[in-house]
């Protein structure tokens, strides 16, 4: 990974996304591009800093950070009513392989997430997005990857290993057996067939993923996987808590009609009320 874009809308030395982006850029020897998008001058409130003031503050923080001595970086400040569009545009220009954004607000209602800048960047763009919730205390140690066997979740696993090459990767597929009223024995047989089918798909996904990681990554991942029955969102939350995950990685659709989530709304729920940092891998 050679290029990371950090989209920041609050300039603060305690900004978790900024700290995480710096750590990742240093560990991956990547160029860090920082963008701040503010409202047009005509719409700014009295007392709001000017574009140059914001840029100077960012430059001051970056230059005062000892970890950034050898880190290549750029700083861009734009005015726009649609921040997501400027973020996606710059990401394409600098050939970013990852967009890092911070989580703002504590709302847990699904509708509060719809229409936010990060939701639009995920939905309208096609690059992976890392949403940072917690202050980084080092590299990612425990990582949970939710898979539905799609290309998106395959990319999520690959990206998770890049971001946490020394971490513990836990792959989880959650499946659901619908209720039936055709007799206990037939229902049990149907459940067994579904479970067997899912096991076979998981084994194939793991074999393909490991083969791909061996071709594209350095080192051998600390890799564990399992199958579990249950609802995806609550299952991922439970697993994240049990594994003390610092990062949850999931795949997503691109160009859907409404929201870009391959896990049937699970990614939407995870992003709305995340247990930790969340990586969403987009596929075209």
pLDDT in tens, 141-186: 999 999 988 888 899 999 999 999 889 999 999 987 766 555 455 5
Residue 10, classed as helix, strand or coil, is: coil
Q: What residues does CATH 3.40.50.620 cover in the chain? A: 1-102, 134-284
Lowest mean pLDDT among 29-33, 78-82, 113-117: 113-117
pLDDT in tens, 87-96: 999 999 999 9
**Total length of the chain:** 284
For residue 27, the tally of other CB atoms under 10 A from its CB is 15
Taking Cα atoms as reference points, which of 15, 129, 132 lies closest to residue 62?
15
Task: Specify whether the CB–CB gap between 199 and 228 falls below 8 A.
Answer: no
> Are 15 and 110 spatial neighbours (Cβ–Cβ below 8 Å)?
no
pTM: 0.85
CATH fold of 134-284, please? Rossmann fold (3.40.50)
Return left, alpha or beta for 198; rule: phi > 0 is left, psi -120 to 50 is alpha, else beta.
alpha
Per-residue pLDDT reduced to its tens digit, 206-223: 998 888 887 766 666 778
The CATH architecture to which 1-102 belongs is: 3-Layer(aba) Sandwich (3.40)
Name which of 35-44, 162-171, 256-265 the model is least confident about. 256-265
């Amino acid at each position: 990974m050679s290029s990371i874009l950090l989209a920041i809308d609050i300039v603060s030395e305690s900004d978790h996304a900024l700290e995480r982006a710096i750590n990742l850029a240093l560990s991956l020897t990547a160029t860090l591009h920082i963008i701040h998008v503010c409202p047009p001058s005509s719409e700014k409130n009295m007392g709001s800093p000017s574009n140059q003031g914001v840029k100077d503050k960012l430059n001051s923080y970056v230059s005062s950070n000892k970890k950034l001595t050898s880190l290549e970086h750029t700083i861009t400040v734009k005015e726009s009513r649609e921040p997501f569009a400027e973020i996606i545009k710059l990401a394409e220009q600098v050939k970013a392989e990852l967009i890092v954004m911070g989580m703002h607000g504590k709302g847990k209602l699904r509708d509060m997430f719809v229409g936010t800048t990060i939701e639009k960047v995920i939905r309208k763009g096609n690059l992976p997005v890392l949403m940072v919730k917690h202050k980084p205390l080092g590299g990612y140690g425990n990582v949970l990857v939710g898979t539905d066997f799609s290309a998106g979740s395959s990319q999520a696993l690959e990206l998770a290993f890049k971001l946490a090459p020394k971490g513990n990767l836990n792959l989880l597929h959650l499946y659901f057996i619908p209720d039936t009223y055709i007799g206990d024995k037939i229902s049990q047989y149907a459940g067994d067939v579904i479970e067997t089918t899912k096991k076979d798909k998981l084994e194939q996904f793991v074999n393909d993923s490991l083969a791909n990681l061996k071709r594209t990554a350095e080192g051998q991942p600390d890799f564990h996987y399992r199958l579990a029955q249950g609802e995806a969102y609550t299952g991922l939350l439970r697993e994240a808590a049990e594994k003390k995950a610092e990062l949850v990685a999931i795949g997503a659709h691109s160009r859907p009609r409404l929201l870009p989530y391959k896990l049937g709304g699970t990614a939407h729920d995870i992003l709305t009320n995340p247990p930790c940092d969340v990586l969403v891998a987009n596929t075209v």
